[in-house]
């Protein structure tokens, strides 16, 4: 049985930050500059604003059912048959997110670090680590995540140190020349950068706070930190590379780190990718944990064997991930996943809140 003890607002903040940041950090702002060019940082900023609006929606939904997590009150909002289906969709989406994160970073490790190591070895170790941590209670996961926060800060220092060297600030000018339309168009792929805040749908009743308002404040701080990090990173990359270069370099951060000369460390890019593995692991094991919890509530009686569900889902992710060695398949899968993210993270919470408001009352604690 999984024991879901309460979290502090500080632990919630760490969980959200490290679930949001992940593999995308290496590619910013490649996908977000297709139309906005050197104004991509504005698209990323706008994406963070939209993410904050969705956070408020999820907060309002959780506030109407403060003592239950989403899979518990789903039947109250949409009825039991549809509730089972929606829980299944959330379980599948979270498992899919875990799969994409592990496959994507396995690809990064194989291309930049362990070139001769078999794909299935790197993938298997990544999923095994995620499953081992995800099989723990939520409070234990939060404690582990807090310790990994230090590694995230180390990576931030590495990025700031390497990114402020030789460059050209004129790459950022003139601001806004691509037009508001182009900025908004590129803010759509920027939205996928912020996925992770939807964990509040499940953990809302387990956050210990004096006021419910403290929860949305913690979420706002977390999303604000992520937004600031993404915007600064985008501006640093644009400062280093011209607009034409950004459109051709899929992982610009790796090249920035590789060009930086530091007598203490021979290859800063290898150091960063190695440390960042711990940060990516947070996203993987958090989604794996959530997938198991949503799956546990599909049947009439909650499945108490949380560890069994986690390792079962981890095994499925490993088997499916064996086909991820083909990068073309991963790219096609990423496009599909982006649509799924928009539906499950943005549209679904909004619909659930509207339905809950039309019913005129929150759930009743039993």
Is there a contact between 102 and 317 (Cβ–Cβ < 8 Å)? yes
CA distance to 194, 237, 258, 261, 316, per residue, from 265 (Å): 31, 21, 11, 8, 38
Q: What is the pLDDT of residues 107-162, one digit of tens each?
A: 999 999 999 999 999 999 999 999 999 999 999 999 999 999 999 999 999 999 88
User: What pLDDT shows up at residue 2?
Assistant: 56
CA distance 333 to 256: 28
Q: What is the pLDDT of residues 32-75, one digit of tens each?
A: 998 999 999 999 999 999 999 999 999 999 999 999 999 999 98
Tokens of 15: 């969980």
363 is a domain residue: no
Q: What is the pLDDT of residues 245-293, one digit of tens each?
A: 998 898 999 999 888 877 777 788 888 999 999 999 999 999 999 999 9
> Could you identify the residue written with the tokens 């009352």?
361
Is there a contact between 104 and 23 (Cβ–Cβ < 8 Å)? yes
Q: What is the CATH number of the domain that holds 161?
A: 1.20.1740.10
Q: What is the pLDDT of residues 214-230, one digit of tens each?
A: 999 999 999 999 999 99
339 is a domain residue: yes
71 is a domain residue: yes
User: What pLDDT shows up at residue 366?
Assistant: 33
> Could you identify the residue written with the tokens 């569900």?
309
Q: Is the pLDDT of residue 365 over 60?
A: no
Neighbouring residues of 26: CB distance < 8 A, sequence distance ≥ 6? 108, 251, 253, 254
User: What pLDDT shows up at residue 4?
Assistant: 55
Q: Is the pLDDT of residue 327 over 90?
A: no
Give the residue among 312, 84, 314, 57 at the shortest CA–CA distance from 200. 57
220 is a domain residue: yes
Give me the long-range contacts of 27-31 (CB less than 8 A, separation at least 24).
27/250, 27/251, 27/252, 27/253, 28/193, 28/230, 28/233, 28/234, 28/237, 28/252, 28/253, 29/233, 29/234, 29/237, 29/238, 29/246, 30/246, 30/247, 30/249, 30/250, 30/251, 30/252, 31/189
Enter the pTM of the model.
0.93
**Domains in the chain: how many in total?**
1
Containing domain of residue 108, as a range? 9-352
């Amino acid at each position: 049985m999984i024991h879901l003890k309460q979290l502090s607002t500080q632990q919630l903040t760490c969980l959200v930050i490290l679930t949001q940041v992940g593999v995308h950090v290496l590619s910013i702002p490649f996908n977000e500059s297709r139309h906005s060019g050197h104004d991509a940082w504005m698209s990323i900023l706008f994406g963070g604003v939209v993410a904050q609006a969705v956070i408020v929606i999820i907060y309002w939904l959780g506030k109407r059912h403060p003592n239950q997590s989403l899979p518990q009150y789903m039947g109250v909002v949409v009825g039991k048959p549809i509730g089972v289906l929606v829980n299944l969709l959330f379980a599948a989406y979270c498992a899919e997110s875990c799969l994409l994160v592990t496959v994507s970073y396995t690809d990064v490790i194989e291309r930049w670090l362990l070139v001769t190591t078999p794909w299935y070895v790197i993938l298997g170790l990544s999923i095994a680590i995620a499953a081992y941590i995800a099989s723990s209670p939520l409070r234990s996961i939060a404690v582990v995540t807090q310790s990994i926060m230090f590694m995230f800060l180390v990576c931030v220092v590495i990025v700031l140190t390497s990114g402020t060297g030789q460059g050209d600030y004129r790459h950022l000018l003139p601001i806004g020349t691509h037009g508001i339309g182009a900025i908004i168009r590129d803010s759509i792929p920027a939205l996928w950068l912020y996925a992770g805040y939807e964990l509040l749908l499940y953990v809302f009743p387990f956050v210990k706070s004096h006021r419910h308002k403290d929860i949305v404040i913690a979420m706002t701080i977390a999303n604000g930190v992520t937004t600031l990090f993404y915007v600064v990173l985008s501006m640093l990359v644009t400062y280093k590379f011209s607009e034409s270069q950004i459109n051709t370099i899929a992982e610009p951060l790796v090249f920035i780190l590789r060009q930086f000369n530091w007598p203490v460390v021979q290859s800063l890019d290898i150091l960063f990718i190695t440390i960042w593995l711990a940060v990516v692991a947070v996203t993987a094991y958090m989604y794996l944990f959530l997938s198991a919890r949503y799956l546990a509530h599909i049947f009439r009686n909650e499945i108490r064997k949380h560890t069994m569900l986690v390792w079962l889902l981890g095994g499925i992710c490993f088997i499916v991930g064996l086909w991820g060695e083909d990068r073309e398949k991963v790219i096609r899968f990423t496009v599909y996943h982006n649509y799924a993210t928009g539906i499950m993270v943005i549209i679904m919470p909004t619909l659930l809140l509207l339905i809950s408001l039309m019913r005129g009352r929150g759930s009743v604690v039993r």
